[in-house]
Amino acid sequence: MSSTDVEIFEGESLLQEASTHKLGSILGAVNWTSPVNLVLAVCTLGTWYIVPVTIAAVSGGMSTKSYTITDERIIESSGMVGGSTTQHDFEKLVGDIKTEQGFLQAFFNIGDITFEVQKTQATSAEDGNFGEKERSKMNKDVRREEIRLEGVLDHTEVANTIRRIHRD
């Protein structure tokens, strides 16, 4: 699924499109401060890492994600066939937008973006069926969920776009 498959609603403005690098998530997941990983990387000239990544890439084991940012939401699309789409409305975004970039991710100009969204679920206090009982007996469960966009190309630029919209 590509970002061109995402529907932009009437009155909504497309601000930016971004995608992941196939190696982005893996590069970020490796703990490069671990002495074992550093010794393996130096002694084997990186082949301990390159061979499995290459096999995974060739076999289609790593799918890419695309991110469409509008003035109202962030749309995360993933998958090669069929795929899935998740959207995060800016009005539900809470807290700070954080960026991270590992040592090897810097060589590929990729990084991760993390933020939190507020989720609300309402149910009836008596029987769990929303809308069947009086609204005065309604419970609201409010929680925060961390969203992590991994291996994003030009992650700083994408994070700054999200920050600008979130601030306004």
What pLDDT shows up at residue 39? 67
> In sequence order, what are the beta bridge partners of 86?
76
Domain that holds residue 99: 3-20+65-167
| Euclidean distance between CA atoms 25 and 61, whole angstroms | 12
Q: Is the dihedral of CA 151, 104, 94, 142 positive or negative?
A: positive
> In sequence order, what are the beta bridge partners of 69?
16, 74
Instruction: Specify the number of domains making up the chain.
Output: 1
Asked if the structure places residue 120 within a domain, the reply is yes
Element (H, E) at 71: none
Asked if the structure places residue 25 within a domain, the reply is no
What pLDDT shows up at residue 53? 58
CATH of the domain at 76: 2.30.29
What pLDDT shows up at residue 95? 85
Asked if the structure places residue 52 within a domain, the reply is no
What pLDDT shows up at residue 121? 73
Asked if the structure places residue 35 within a domain, the reply is no
Asked if the structure places residue 43 within a domain, the reply is no
Residue 48 DSSP class: H
The type of residue at 155 is H
| Euclidean distance between CA atoms 128 and 139, whole angstroms | 9
Mean pLDDT by 10 residues, the chain (168 residues): 66 86 53 60 60 54 76 84 82 90 82 89 58 58 86 90 87
Asked if the structure places residue 130 within a domain, the reply is yes
| Euclidean distance between CA atoms 155 and 129, whole angstroms | 42
Distances from the Cα of 50 to the Cα of 68, 107, 109, 123, angstroms: 30, 15, 18, 50
